[in-house]
């Protein structure tokens, strides 16, 4: 029989002393609430990071390969898809996909309004699965290899601004000399919640842009490079830079659109500070509980010492008491936090303002390694903090402890 654990169990489960019973409940509640809040905060933070990164990466890839140019014009300098990197990108284990795209500025004109936009041309190599989650209505343009289509996807923001609907046709005037125009048909509407995309980008056929720019079929404006989930972006940038042509430039998406990633980093720092404060409060509560338990059980400590019990055994008794309370708190904290996260994940109970948060509900990212790691962290930190009150047990004298009232 484990004597310290037996005494600790009897001490906690003892029905004598309503005050100590209330203190035990407070200790368990503080651990449960602290862990629950920390778990929810990290699950939500992970959801925010993944949702926003997925939106940005689905539109621009993890990095772009373009041609060096000294011009400040929006017109792109073409690069060929016949390069060694583009044709053999599957030889790089960290690359998931590479696709050629092109941008061209123009004006969308309706009977009531004119709006400046940029059309993003995509080809048959475009991986629509990355972007499909942003498509809220309609379908992707039907792309062909021998001719171009005039079908386009516009954003919900542009459709509201120009009062356009699915199936309508709209004229786009392209900024070039001589000016040209095309009548385009709306076959899809997307929404990312990111103003850099929603306010100005529409999606069409890259072959139309190639025809307007007098490019050949193997010329595109840039490559979009998609990396595997576990790839290191900085290292991948360096490898890709060495692999592309000498006059090509590699740019990471988090440097092209730094505002979103800086916002996520600021949010992460705030959450880390918040979690540190909660963990400190939980540890402080446990220290206070053990101090109170020590004072209430002082006569018991004196009796055990007078019977020959060593300080080590008595310390173990109070450590086991603290651990039992901590485990109960961890259990309830996990049940409440995971239960709340499940409800939010499936039913989206808490909405958000998409204009400010780039999404319309609080996201949840399931990361079970993080959940296990946080539980271990709380357990270790609380266990270390328990040594503070337990240390004072060695300074108690048996006679004074027995007479303590």
Block mean pLDDT (10 aa), the chain, length 405: 61 59 80 92 93 92 90 78 94 95 93 91 91 91 88 95 93 88 95 91 95 94 94 95 93 93 90 87 78 67 62 72 86 96 95 86 94 92 79 59 50
> CA–CA separation, 379 vs 362, rounded Å?
28
Tokens of 143: 């792309």
Please report the beta strands in 123-217, taking only residues with DSSP state E, as ranges in sequence order: 135-138, 151-155, 169-174, 180-190, 201-205
CB 161 within 8 A of CB 109: no
CB of 109 closer than 8 Å to CB of 172: yes
How high is the pLDDT of residue 3?
59
Q: What local confidence, expressed as pLDDT, does residue 401 receive?
A: 46
Q: How many residues does the chain have?
A: 405
Q: Say how far apart CA 367 and CA 192 lie, in whole Å.
A: 24
Predicted confidence at residue 292, as pLDDT, reads 73
Q: What distances in angstroms separate CA 148 from CA 184, 197, 234, 250, one per listed residue?
A: 12, 23, 36, 29
For residue 7, the model assigns a pLDDT of 61
DSSP character at residue 76: P
How far is the CA of 221 from the CAs of 116, 165, 270, in angstroms? Answer: 20, 29, 39
Task: Give the whole-angstrom CA distance, residue 304 versus residue 298.
Answer: 10
Contact 317, 4 (CB under 8 A): yes
Distances (CA, A) of 299 to 16, 107, 306, 319, 397: 14, 86, 10, 18, 11
Q: How far is CA 339 from CA 35, 36, 43, 333, in A?
A: 13, 10, 12, 10
- Distance from C-alpha of 357 to C-alpha of 128, rounded to nearest angstrom: 25
Distance CA 393, CA 399 (A): 14
pLDDT value, residue 8: 60
pLDDT at 347: 94
Nearest to 208 by CA among 158, 159, 152, 282: 152
């Amino acid at each position: 029989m484990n004597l310290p654990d037996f005494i600790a169990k009897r001490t906690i489960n003892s029905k004598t002393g309503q005050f100590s019973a209330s203190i035990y409940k407070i200790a368990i509640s503080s651990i449960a609430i602290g862990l629950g809040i920390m778990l929810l905060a990290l699950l939500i933070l992970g959801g925010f990071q993944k949702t926003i990164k997925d939106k940005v990466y689905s539109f621009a890839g993890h990095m772009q390969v373009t041609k060096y140019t000294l011009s400040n014009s929006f017109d792109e300098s073409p690069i060929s898809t016949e390069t060694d990197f583009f044709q053999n990108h599957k030889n790089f284990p960290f690359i998931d996909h590479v696709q050629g795209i092109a941008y061209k500025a123009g004006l969308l004109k309706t009977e009531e309004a004119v709006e400046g936009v940029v059309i993003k041309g995509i080809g048959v190599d475009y991986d629509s699965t990355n972007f499909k989650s942003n498509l809220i209505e309609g379908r992707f343009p039907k792309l062909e290899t021998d001719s171009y289509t005039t079908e386009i996807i516009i954003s919900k923001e542009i459709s509201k601004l120009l009062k356009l609907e699915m199936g309508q046709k709209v004229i786009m005037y392209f900024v070039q000399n001589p000016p040209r125009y095309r009548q385009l048909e709306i076959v899809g509407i997307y929404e990312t919640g990111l103003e850099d995309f929603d306010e100005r980008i529409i999606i069409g056929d890259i072959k139309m842009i190639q025809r307007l720019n007098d490019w050949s079929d193997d010329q595109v404006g840039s490559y979009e490079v998609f990396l595997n989930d576990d790839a290191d972006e900085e290292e991948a940038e360096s490898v890709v830079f060495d692999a592309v042509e000498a006059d090509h430039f590699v740019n990471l998406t988090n440097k092209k659109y730094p505002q979103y990633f800086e916002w996520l980093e600021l949010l992460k720092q705030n959450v880390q500070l918040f979690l540190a404060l909660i963990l400190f409060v939980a540890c402080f509560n446990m220290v206070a509980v053990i101090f109170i338990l020590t004072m209430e059980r002082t006569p018991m400590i004196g009796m055990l010492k007078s019977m020959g019990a060593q300080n080590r055994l008595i310390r173990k008794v109070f450590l086991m008491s603290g651990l039992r309370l901590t485990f109960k708190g961890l259990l309830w904290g996990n049940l409440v936090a995971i239960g709340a996260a499940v409800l939010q994940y499936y039913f989206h109970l808490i909405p958000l303002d998409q204009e400010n948060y780039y999404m319309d509900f609080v996201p949840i990212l399931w990361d079970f390694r993080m959940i296990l790691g946080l539980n271990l962290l709380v357990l270790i930190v609380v266990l270390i903090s328990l040594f503070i009150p337990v240390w004072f047990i060695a300074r108690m004298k048996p006679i004074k402890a027995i007479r303590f009232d």
